[in-house]
Structure 1
Amino acid sequence: MPPPPRPLTIHILRHGTRQDFLTPNWTSPTNLPKDPPIAPIGHHQAQEVSAHLLGQSPHSRSPPPITHIFSSPFTRCIQTVAPYARARDLRVKIEDGLGEWFNEANSILPAAADTLPSNHTEAKPCPRAPTVAELEALFPGLVDLGYEMRMRGTRWESKAEVHERLRVVLGRIIGFVEGEEDQKGGGEGGETHILLVTHAAAQIALVRALVGDERRKVTCGVATLSRFRRRIQQTTAAGVGGGKTSTSTSTSTNTNTNANANANANEDSGIDPSEWVMEADGDARHLSGGLQYNWAFAE
Structure 2
Amino acid sequence: MVLEVIYIVRHGFRSNWVVDPDTGVYSSNVTSPTGIHSDPALAGYGVDQAKQLAKKILTLDPPVDVIYSSPFYRCLQTLKPTTEQLFRGRCGGKVRVENGVGEFYGRARFDHPSPAPLSVLHTHFPNLDPDYTPLIIPSTNGETIEGLHDRIAYALHQMIATLDADPQGPRALLICTHAASMIAMGRTLTGRMPKDPAEDDFKCFTCSLSKFMRRRKENVVPSGDDTKGEKWNRASPDDIPDVGWRDGKGVKGGWNCELNGDCSFLRGGEERGW
Correspondence for 1:72 = 70
Distance 2:150 2:100 in 1: 11
Correspondence for 2:207 = 223
Choose which of 163, 178, 192 in structure 1 pairs with 2:164: 178
Choose which of 133, 141, 163 in structure 1 pairs with 2:149: 163
For residue 16 of structure 2, give the secondary structure of its aligned residue in structure 1: helix
Choose which of 91, 98, 106 in structure 1 pairs with 2:101: 98
String of CA shifts for 1:197-255, please: whole Å, max 9, x gaps: 100010000000012122261111111011101123658xxxxxxxxxxxxxxxxxxxx
Which of the two has higher C-alpha Rg?
A: 1
Distance 1:228 1:28 in 2: 33
TM-score of the pair, normalised by structure 2 = 0.77
Distance 1:93 1:202 in 2: 17
- Which residue identity does 1:221 align to in structure 2? F
Length, aligned pairs only: 229
Distance 2:264 2:154 in 1: 30
Structure 1 residues 278 and 134, CA gap change in structure 2 (3 angstroms): same
In the alignment, structure 1 residue 142 sits paired with structure 2 residue 146 = no
String of CA shifts for 1:6-65, please: whole Å, max 9, x gaps: 2410001100001118xx62111100121011100110011011000112xxxxxx5432
For residue 219 of structure 1, give the secondary structure of its aligned residue in structure 2: coil
Choose which of 80, 83, 90 in structure 1 pairs with 2:81: 83
Structure 1 residues 63 and 41, CA gap change in structure 2 (3 angstroms): farther
- Which residue identity does 1:144 align to in structure 2? D
Superposed displacement of residue 172, structure 1: 0.6
TM-score of the pair, normalised by structure 1 = 0.71
Correspondence for 1:33 = 37
In the alignment, structure 1 residue 54 sits paired with structure 2 residue 62 = no
Structure 1 residues 86 and 50, CA gap change in structure 2 (3 angstroms): same
In the alignment, structure 1 residue 192 sits paired with structure 2 residue 174 = no
Structure 1 residues 7 and 77, CA gap change in structure 2 (3 angstroms): closer
- Identity within the alignment, %: 31
- Which residue identity does 1:130 align to in structure 2? A
String of CA shifts for 1:135-159, please: whole Å, max 9, x gaps: 10111x2111121211135431011
Correspondence for 2:227 = none
- Which residue identity does 2:137 align to in structure 1? R
Distance 2:31 2:100 in 1: 25
What RMSD over aligned residues (CA atoms) do the two structures have, in Å? 2.2
Distance 1:68 1:218 in 2: 23
Correspondence for 1:287 = 266
Correspondence for 2:5 = 9
In the alignment, structure 1 residue 45 sits paired with structure 2 residue 24 = no
Give the gaps of 5 or more residues in structure 2. 18-27, 88-92, 220-241
Give the gaps of 5 or more residues in structure 1. 56-61, 108-122, 236-262
Retained in 2: the 8 A contact 1:171–1:271?
no
- Larger CA deviation: 87-96 vs 273-282: 273-282
In the alignment, structure 1 residue 204 sits paired with structure 2 residue 183 = yes
Structure 1 residues 103 and 227, CA gap change in structure 2 (3 angstroms): same
Distance 2:251 2:156 in 1: 11
Retained in 2: the 8 A contact 1:54–1:64?
no
Segments of 4+ moved more than 4 angstroms = 270-274
Structure 1 residues 264 and 10, CA gap change in structure 2 (3 angstroms): closer
- Which residue identity does 1:200 align to in structure 2? A
